[in-house]
Amino acid sequence: MTSRNKILEAVRLNQPDALPLPDTGIFKGEDIEVLEKFLNAVSATGGKAVMAGSYDEIAHLINQAFSGAKRIVTTVPELTGMTQIKAGLSDAHHLADVDLAVMNAHFGVAENGAVWITEDLMQERALPFIAQDLAVIIHKNNIVPTMHEAYDRIGTSVYGFGSFIAGPSKTADIEQSLVLGAHGPCSMMIFVL
Amino acid sequence: MNESTLHHADLSERFNADEERVNWHDETLWWIRQKRDRAVNLLPEWESLREAASQIKNNVLSRLSEYLVAFEARATENGITVHWAENAEQHNAIVVNILQQQGINQMIKSKSMLTEECHLNEYLQQKGIEVIDTDLGERVVQLAKEPPSHIVLPCIHKKKEEIGALFHEHLGTLEGASDPMYLTAEARKHLREKFLTRRAALTGVNFAIAETGEIVICTNEGNADMGAHLCDVHIASMGIEKIIPERKHLPVFLRLLTRSATGQPITTYSSHFRTPRAGKQIHIIIVDNGRSTQLGRKDFRSSLKCIRCAACFNTCPVYRRSGGHSYHTAIAGPIGSILAPNLDMKKYADLPFASTLCGSCSHVCPVKIDIHDQLYKWRQLLVQEGHVSSSKTAAIKGMNSVLSHPAFFKMAGKAGRWVIRHIPFAVKNPLNVWYKQRDMPEAPTASFSSWYQKNRKHDKQK
């Protein structure tokens, strides 16, 4: 018998009689002041949320905040003045010197400040992790109260890869001192349109 | 005594030699427990979430074979290669086989307690394969040639000065430097070079979705993602119990996990891997290693519901004061003490006794595992199976006869009070381990029952 079948047989023999699944539909977040809650949650993650009126304004704010950056790339078509990144054009390792990556997110989550980004918005899966700094754009109408509504939104959508990202990468492994910028971005800016 | 036969009490004594460090360790972990409380208290639905998580996991364990088959089918459709390992040896051999097929002899690894359980690093070393841990805390303990002492905070037992000295020796940081920001920045440079040059990355798995065949990996540092998205071959190792039925069940667990672990509302990254990148590979190794046996132990089955948040570690008065290494197993703390005896009753017979049975672990557990009840049940089983030292068994038997005979109990109490007052050395001596680091109580002049009799009479007279 293969290892697979031996394991499955042992599990089948030892698992108890089937127990029911609970109704998780009972969990609903309050759909009030989600924008304000989201902005507060983002700053608790170490990120920075900024309200913006247009893509032009975002481009202007980025150029101001990252005037020293050598390589800024984006996957957002509306940001016409920036270098566009397309999937498969080059090996992901060529992104190693990216100072700032700018991309869209599907939505934000008010309870924890996370944004949901799938592979199609990243173009390269490595991009939101390898860049020294990360900027993300969401629309103010796309903020859900909790993770339950987040997964209602995701539903059965198909993606190769997707990630909830909540702030810059961080660690507190040395004596519990919080340090931003572990392996991924050292800062995260969220523009709310 | 051989190092490998040292028990929890011996190893705790070693940790307790440095009282200042024990106090610091205790306070640090309690601070994390308090952060957990603050995060939890913000959610009025916390108890309902725990109940839902518990029921989902009960369902998973009751239908695990079906879910595993469904997960395998979906993952395979998604282009992932699924492997099965009955035990640690098979798991390690599969990893080496995957690497050798690709001609790879260097690998990076993000946090995976399963690979600690399987002693993968030692095995790879024997096979001439270099492995570098990329979680900062794990890199620290790897450089120190130690196992992690905590499943979420691997080097919580180390002071920053010690980490500074390790980094000076291995990474060439400035001598005497111990600033966490500086040390983290240097580790970032050191590990970034590994991320960019290694072709294989191994990660753990937090959740595996039967419905979609995707796996979810949670980190704060982003090291699992950096490894997985830059490598040619991503190997993900998971225990059979990591299954979640459907995607819609994930929010319940993602809301509980990090609040319980560190008090954050979510980890920085909760990454969902469904397919490999074009031209790249994902291998998932599904590991049993004793889990199917534990599934058959009715009293201990629910230990498999664990989502590895370590809330039970941080709250445990014994763990906080004895340190993770005193548990001499990959997963320390209260949950480790009910998982380890399943793997080897003789070797880990001491662990269920490394508890005060105060029940704090069960109260903070996000999936409602009755940890302290299971510790108590393991004690009974281990005594029955003859894995407990004869002195402890004799003491328990002695207590049993004293407590079950009221007249004898009365007399023994009287004798005890007399002994403590008049000849304390008869009980407080090196032969009685109970008195280690404990002070003698003041012996009362009368027993509780005589005090009660007397005072109850007073009450009646009023």
Q: What is the pLDDT of residues A58-68, one digit of tens each?
A: 999 999 999 99
- For an interface test with A, the pick among B150, B181, B198, B268 (most A C-beta atoms closer than 10 Å) comes out as B268
Residue of B241, B289, B334, B294 whose CA lies nearest to B118: B289
3-class secondary structure, B55: helix
* B245, pLDDT greater than 70: yes
Instruction: Give the per-residue pLDDT at B4.
Output: 61
* Burial call B387-403: b when 16+ CB within 10 Å, e when fewer: bbeeebeeeeeeeeeee
Tokens encoding A3: 């290892």
pLDDT in tens, B257-292: 999 999 999 999 999 999 999 999 999 999 999 999
* Closest-CA residue to B255 (of B244, B247, B263): B263
CB contact under 8 A, A160 and B277: yes
- Name the B residues in 117-176 with CB < 8 Å from any A CB: 134-137, 140, 153-156, 159-160, 163
Interior/surface letters A71-91, b for 16+ CB within 10 angstroms, e for the rest: ebbbbbeebeebeebebeeee
Question: At B455, is the pLDDT very low, low, confident or very high (cuts 50, 70, 90)?
Answer: confident
Please give the Cα distance from B164 to B175 (Å, whole number).
Answer: 8
Q: What is the reported pLDDT for B415? A: 78
DSSP H or E run through B202: strand B200-203
Contacts of B293 in chain A (CB under 8 A): 10, 14
Q: Which residues contact A84 (CB under 8 A, 6 or more apart)?
A: A73, A74, A75, A77
In the block, tokens 């000295």 appear at: B165
Q: Which H or E run includes B108?
A: strand B106-109
Q: Is B429's pLDDT higher than 80?
A: no
Q: List, for residues B356-411, the tens digit of each pLDDT value.
A: 999 999 999 999 999 999 999 999 999 999 998 777 777 777 777 777 787 877 87
Contacts of B230 in chain A (CB under 8 A): 92-93, 126, 130
Max Cα-Cα span within chain A: 65
Helical segments of chain A, H only: 3-14, 34-44, 55-65, 119-122, 127-130, 147-154
Taking only the tens place, the pLDDT of each residue in B208-228 is 999 999 999 999 999 999 999
Flag whether pLDDT at A160 surpasses 90: yes
Q: Closest Cα partner for A38 from A157, A184, A161, A145?
A: A145
Of B62, B63, B153, the CB nearest to A173: B153
pLDDT score for B431: 66
Beta strands across the sheet bearing B243-244: A143-144, A107-109, A115-118, A161-165, B269-273, B215-219, B207-209, B243-244
The confidence score (pLDDT) of residue B400 equals 74
Is A130 in contact with B229 (Cβ distance < 8 A)? yes
Please answer yes or no on whether A22 and B31 come within 8 Å at the CB atom.
Answer: no
Confidence of residue B322 (pLDDT cuts 50, 70, 90): very high
Measured between beta carbons, the chain B residues lying within 8 angstroms of A177 are: 160, 180-181
Q: Is the pLDDT of residue B3 over 60?
A: no
Position B462 pLDDT exceeds 60: no
Q: Does A172 touch chain B (CB under 8 A)?
A: yes
Q: CB contact, 8 Å: B222 with chain A?
A: yes
* Cα→Cα distances A154→A64, B78, B134, B144, Å: 34, 18, 30, 43
What stretch of H or E contains B27? helix B19-41
Which residues lie below 8 Å from residue A96, measured CB to CB, with a gap of 6+?
A130, B192, B196
What is the share, in percent, of chain B residues with pLDDT greater than 90? 82
Residues of A in contact with B220 (CB under 8 A): 169-172, 182
Alpha carbons A121 and A78: distance in angstroms, whole number: 13
> Is A113 in CB contact (< 8 Å) with chain B?
yes
Least confident of A77-81, B335-339, B436-440: B436-440
> For B121-173, what is the HEC assignment?
HHHHHHCCCEEEECCHHHHHHHHCCCCCCCCCCCCCCCCHHHHHHHHHHHHCC
Helix boundaries (H) for B284-389: 291-296, 311-315, 317-322, 333-343, 360-364, 371-384
Considering only alpha carbons, which residue of chain B is nearest residue A46? B268
| Structure token pair of residue B12 | 């705790």
pLDDT surpasses 90 at A118: yes
Contact status of B18 with chain A (Cβ, < 8 Å) = no
Q: Nearest CA to CA, how far is B315 from chain A (Å)?
A: 16
State yes or no: pLDDT of B199 exceeds 90.
yes
For the cut 70, the answer to whether the pLDDT of residue B2 exceeds it is no
Interface residue B27 vs chain A (CB under 8 A): no
> Tens of pLDDT along B104-163?
999 999 999 999 999 999 999 999 999 999 999 999 999 999 999 999 999 999 999 999
Q: What mean pLDDT comes out for the span B347-352?
A: 96
Considering only CA atoms, which of B410, B421, B460 is closest in space to residue B444? B421
CB-based contact, B184 to chain A, within 8 Å? yes
CA distance B82 to A179: 37
Contacts with B379 (C-beta within 8 Å, 6 or more apart), sequence order: B352, B353, B388
**Positive or negative torsion for Cα B326, B327, B329, B331:** negative
Question: What Rg do the C-alpha atoms of chain B give, in angstroms?
Answer: 25
- Nearest chain A residue to B58, by CA: A19
Q: Which pLDDT belongs to residue B433?
A: 67
In the prediction, which pLDDT does B376 show?
A: 97
**pLDDT, tens digit (0-9, with 9 covering 90-100), for A16-63:** 999 999 999 999 999 899 999 999 999 999 999 999 999 999 999 999
> Strands, DSSP E only, in chain A?
48-51, 72-74, 83-84, 100-104, 107-109, 115-118, 133-138, 143-144, 161-165, 170-171, 179-180, 187-192
The pLDDT, as a whole number, for residue B358 is 97
Give the Cα separation of B303 and B437 in Å (integer).
32
Window 258-317 of B: residues touching A by CB (8 A cutoff) are 262, 264-275, 277-278, 286, 288, 292-293, 295-296, 298, 301
Torsion sign (Cα): B10, B12, B14, B17: negative
- Rounded CA separation A81/B27 (Å): 52
pLDDT at residue B188, as a whole number: 97
Residue A170 confidence (pLDDT) above 90: yes
- Percentage above 90 pLDDT, chain A: 95
Mutate to test the interface with B, among A15, A122, A130 (most CBs of B within 10 A): A15
Query: By three-state DSSP, how is residue B347 classified?
Result: coil
pLDDT of residue B1: 43
Q: Please state, as a whole number, how many other Cβ atoms lie within 10 Å of the Cβ of residue B228.
A: 29
Q: What is the mean pLDDT of chain B?
A: 93
Helical ranges in B231-328 per DSSP H: 250-261, 291-296, 311-315, 317-322
User: What would the pLDDT profile of B32-86 be if each residue is shown by its tens digit?
Assistant: 999 999 999 999 999 999 999 999 999 999 999 999 999 999 999 999 999 999 9
Structure tokens at B338: 């009910």
In angstroms, the Cα distances linking B91 to A165, B148, B162, B204 are: 31, 20, 34, 13
The average confidence (pLDDT) of chain A is: 96
Q: Check CB contact under 8 Å for B292 and A11.
A: yes
Q: Is the CB of residue A101 less than 8 Å away from at least one CB of chain B?
A: no
The verdict on a CB contact (< 8 Å) between A173 and B140 is yes
Q: Is B318 on the interface with A (CB under 8 A)?
A: no
Query: Burial, B144: exposed, middle or buried (Cβ in 10 Å; 0-12, 13-18, 19+)?
Result: middle
A177:B160 CB<8 A? yes
